[in-house]
Amino acid sequence: MIRWDVIEGNLPLIASKLLEHLALTAVAVGIGLAISALAAYFIRGRKRLVGPVTGTFSLLYTIPSLALLAFLVPVTHLSFLTAEIALVSCTLFILTRNILAGLAAVPTDALEAADAMGYGRFGRLWHVELPLALPLIMAGIRIATVTTLGLVMVTALIGFGGLGQVMLRGYNFRNDTLVLVGFVLTVALGLAADLGLGWLGRAVTPWSRARGT
Amino acid sequence: MARPGGHPLVAGTGDVMAVLTSTIAWFLDPAHWTGVDGVPSRTGEHVILSVLAVVIASAIALPAGLVVGHADRGERIATAVAGIGRAVPSYALLILFVPFFGLGFSSALPALVLLAIPPILVNTVTGIRDVDADTVEAGRGMGMTGREVLMDVEVPAALPVIIVGLRTSAVQVVATTTLAALVAGGGLGRYIVDGFARQQDDRIVAGAFLVAVLAIVTERFFTWIQRQLEGRPGTLRLDVPIAPSPFGGRVAD
């Protein structure tokens, strides 16, 4: 079923689509993280804002990605922007929720100690709260990245899609080898990101390992 | 500019008002409410395929999850299933199956069933395992058999978590059934895929609207059931794991 000559002949295509897949994901998670961090910063401690903002993000998360793309295409056309808006929309809920949960989990003792030591608002956030919230923030980044790697495939319908494009070509041209190559690489990418970011999460929070969590 | 079939071509104008007006006109056109390609028929296909997938997945994952959770063994396998399930995108699975099962329904159904299994399995195992150990002991102390403990003590206590698993599955399946149109399946995704192919913005947006409404209704429906069971208004969404390890002590916050 696998034809090695097909893989050899399509190596440049496969490599460039793999890179596109990684780039689409990295941009989406990066922008998603920036927006989520800002949103979390502004709404934390403001009870009246938390509900509407997380509710909106939750709604964007529930709307299927293909529908999100379809809403956008008439306005922003078959563009990189369309793909990224849809992808970023899906990361916002996961990231914002995990950042808020991470900050909420910081022990009051640590906050009081930081205040007593004379930390200002930003000093306390940067030197005390963020490090303590890091395990849950990293968990959010991990889930958002693996989710986005999968959603990127759907953007093949508007001409992007990375490995989704490889699979779509295989499907359109009845080329089973391309379908299989796209599938195997996609799953490998998802598992590698899951394990890699899990490892990174533990590496940047060595203190949490000492506690056995 | 008139198109064959009388549809206005709005694609590429970027005029939001024009797209909105033409979409409303699309919904008001009686021709879009009858026949195989009508809204009732496409919605029916979407719902039937989704329900079928969730029911079959439940028939597999619920008993398996109950046994694994009750026996407190084999959770490594359940974790592995969940991890791999997360890494396999629905789109990839759908296209992968076409060379094996053929176009349309015969590829879409197995793909959807496989996607629906991990959330139900993981939440069932976690829900049963996390039932208060003292409660289970009390049941045993009263002379209940293992089966009675499972059905009368553990399942009722774990039900809200199990329902969350069903909700995650159902919402995912409704979303992925949209993609079935890509492999010549039916359902509401037809409007989006055909709309893209024919460059009919009204059809694309109408399809997107119907799909979004169906996904939100599904999510709300299961949330409503879950709240009835918990007997209190909850505002937290439990279906998106807060930590990747499903057995890290809590399935979600």
CATH number at residue A62: 1.10.3720.10
What is the distance of C-alpha A146 from the center of its chain?
Answer: 6
The domain tally of chain A equals 1
Task: List CB contacts (< 8 A) between B82 and chain A.
Answer: none
Does the predicted model carry a pTM greater than 0.80? yes
Asked if B252 and B242 touch (Cβ cutoff 8 Å), the reply is yes
Indicate if the alpha-carbon torsion angle A182, A187, A190, A193 is positive or negative: negative
Closest residue in A to B207 (Cα) is: A67
d(CA A189, CA A186): 5
Closest residue in A to B98 (Cα) is: A171
The answer to whether the CB atoms of A66 and B211 lie below 8 A apart is yes
The residue behind tokens 């100690």 is A113
Q: Provide the number of CB pairs (under 8 Å) joining chain A to chain B.
A: 154
Name the B residues in 90-149 with CB < 8 Å from any A CB.
90-93, 95-96, 98-99
Selected residue with higher pLDDT from B250 and B46: B46
- b/e string for A63-95 if b means 16 or more Cβ within 10 A? bbbbbbbbbbbbbbebeeebbbbbbbbbbbbbb
CA distances A170 to A78, A165, A167, A178, B99, Å, are 21, 8, 5, 5, 10
Candidates B91, B183, B242; nearest CB to A101: B242
- b/e string for B10-40 if b means 16 or more Cβ within 10 A? bbeeeeeeebeebbeebeeeeebeeeeeebe
The answer to whether the CB atoms of B195 and A98 lie below 8 A apart is no
DSSP secondary structure letters along A45-107: T-HHHHHHHHHHHHHHHHS-HHHHHHHHHHHH-SSHHHHHHHHHHHHHHHHHHHHHHHHHTS-
The answer to whether the CB atoms of A190 and B11 lie below 8 A apart is no
Q: Return the amino acid letter for A2.
A: I
CATH number at residue B187: 1.10.3720.10
Name the A residues in 28-67 with CB < 8 Å from any B CB.
51, 58-59, 61-67
Residue B250 included in any domain: no
A134 touches chain B (CB under 8 A): no
The answer to whether the CB atoms of B240 and A183 lie below 8 A apart is no
* Each residue's pLDDT tens digit, B181-240: 999 889 999 999 999 999 899 999 999 999 999 999 999 999 999 888 876 544 444 455
Nearest Cα to Cα of residue A65 among B166, B196, B172: B172
ipTM value for the complex: 0.88
What pLDDT score was predicted for residue A38? 96
Nearest Cα to Cα of residue A183 among B115, B89, B66, B70: B89
Residue B179 included in any domain: yes
Q: Return the amino acid letter for B31.
A: A
The answer to whether the CB atoms of B91 and A153 lie below 8 A apart is yes
Residue B84 included in any domain: yes
The answer to whether the CB atoms of B87 and A146 lie below 8 A apart is yes
The domain tally of chain B equals 1
Domain that holds residue B144: 18-23+40-230
Tell me the pLDDT of chain A (213 aa) as tens digits: 678 888 888 999 999 999 999 999 999 999 999 999 999 999 998 889 999 999 999 999 999 999 999 999 988 888 999 999 999 999 999 999 999 999 999 999 999 999 999 998 899 999 999 999 999 999 999 999 999 999 999 999 999 999 999 999 999 999 999 999 999 999 999 999 999 999 999 998 887 765 544
Structure tokens at B30: 């009686």
Domain that holds residue A175: 4-210
d(CA A195, CA A200): 9
CA distances A119 to A45, A54, A99, Å, are 19, 29, 21
Residue A174 sits at the vertex; the CA angle it makes with B46 and A181, to the nearest 5 degrees, is 90
When pLDDT is cut at 50, 70 and 90, the band that residue B253 belongs to is very low
What is the distance of C-alpha B88 from the center of its chain?
Answer: 15
* Each residue's pLDDT tens digit, B29-38: 999 999 999 9
Closest residue in A to B205 (Cα) is: A71
Question: Residue B1: is it exposed, middle or buried by C-beta count within 10 angstroms (0-12/13-18/19+)?
Answer: exposed
Closest residue in B to A179 (Cα) is: B96
A77 touches chain B (CB under 8 A): yes
Closest residue in B to A182 (Cα) is: B92
Question: What residues contact residue B138 under an 8 Å CB cut-off, 6+ apart?
Answer: none
Give the number of residues written for chain B. Answer: 253
DSSP secondary structure letters along A41-54: HHHTT-HHHHHHHH
A149 touches chain B (CB under 8 A): yes
HSE-up of B111 (CA within 13 Å, CB side)?
A: 32
Task: List CB contacts (< 8 A) between B13 and chain A.
Answer: 74
Question: What residues contact residue B237 under an 8 Å CB cut-off, 6+ apart?
Answer: A58, A97, B252
d(CA A166, CA A183): 9
Q: Which residue out of B7, B96, B193 would a mutagenesis test of the A interface target, given it has the greatest number of A Cβ atoms within 10 Å?
A: B96
Task: List CB contacts (< 8 A) between B98 and chain A.
Answer: 171, 179
Q: What are residue B15's phi and psi, to 5 degrees? A: -85, 105
d(CA A94, CA A54): 10
